[in-house]
Amino acid sequence: MRYFILLSYDGAAYCGWQRQPDAPSVQQTVEQALSTLLREQVEVVGAGRTDTGVNASRYVAHFDSENVKDCAQLVYKLNLILPKDVAVQRVWRVGAEAHARFDAVEREYTYYISQRKNPFRRYSAWQYYVPLDVERMNEAAGALMEWEDFTTFAKLNSNNKTNICHVTRADWCRAAEDEDLLIFTIRADRFLRNMIRAIVGTLVDVGRGRYTVEEFREILHSCDLSRSSAGAPAVGLFLSDVRYDERVEYKEENTIV
C-alpha cells in the first residue's frame, strides 16, 4: 500500500532532501525512522530536491508498506524518534500509482528577508539591512510570469532536460505583524536547482537600485547565467507548499491527524 507523508524540516543540518553517501540528508533521516518503526526497509520518494540548508514548511513524500496499522499512531511515533529539526504532520493512504514527485502540479517557495537585526530570525531569514524598493521589486517580479526559459537562473552542470518553467505567482509583501520582514512568494510547475535563490538575489539588486526593472527583464531574457546576481543565502528559503489534484489528495477518514 502507498502512503503520502506531510512533513516540515529545518534544513540547516542537512545537505538537502536527497540522500547523499557522505552527508546527512532529510530523506535518509525519514527513511531510517520509518524503517525502524515498520520493521522493514522503507524507501521514501520526495516531491523534489531542496538544496543544502534550505527549509521546508510543507513537504510531501510517499512510501510503500504493508505494515501501517494506524496512520495517527505512526505520526505520533515518528515524531518521538525523529530529530527536533524534522516533524511529521500527517500520513494518509493514496492510490497505488500516486507519486509524490510526478503527480505534483505546482510547488510554492517562500523567501524571507529581515531588514533589521533580529536574533529570533537568524536561522529563518536573510538578515539584510540595505533599504529596498519593494514596489520596484514587485514590478520586476511580474516579468517572471511572462517568461518560460529560466536559463539565466539555472545552475551550471545541473543536467536539466529543459530550463522551461511556468511561473504562476511571484510577488513581494511585508509581513502584517512585522514591517521589517519582507516575504517573497513564488509558485510554478517546476523549479531549477538554485533558481529561486538566484532570482531573489537579482530582485534584491533591483530593490537597492543596482538594476532597473527594464534591466532585470533584459537579464531574464538573456538566458545568460553570468548576468544574474549572486544567489541569496539558503537560510531564508522555504518550500511552503506542494499541490496535487483531487485524485492524489484522497484521504481516508481515520488518516487525518
**Three-state DSSP state, 89:** strand
113, 206: one domain: yes
The reported pLDDT for the residue numbered 255 is 40
Tell me the pLDDT tens digit for each residue of 192-201.
Answer: 989 999 999 9
Residue with cell 530550463: 163
**Taking 50 as the threshold, does the pLDDT of residue 121 lie above it?**
yes
133 is catalytic: no
Mean pLDDT of all residues in 62-79: 97
Tell me the pLDDT tens digit for each residue of 176-189.
Answer: 989 999 999 999 99
Q: Which of 10, 22, 51, 224 is catalytic?
A: 51
Mean residue pLDDT of the chain comes to 93
Q: The whole model's pTM is what? A: 0.92
110, 229: one domain: yes
- Distance in angstroms (rounded) separating the CA atoms of residues 87 and 76: 10
Note down the domain range covering 41. Answer: 2-103
Among 62, 77, 103, the domain-final residue is 103
Mean pLDDT of all residues in 226-230: 93
- Distance in angstroms (rounded) separating the CA atoms of residues 5 and 109: 19
Instruction: Tell me the β-bridge partners of 23.
Output: 20
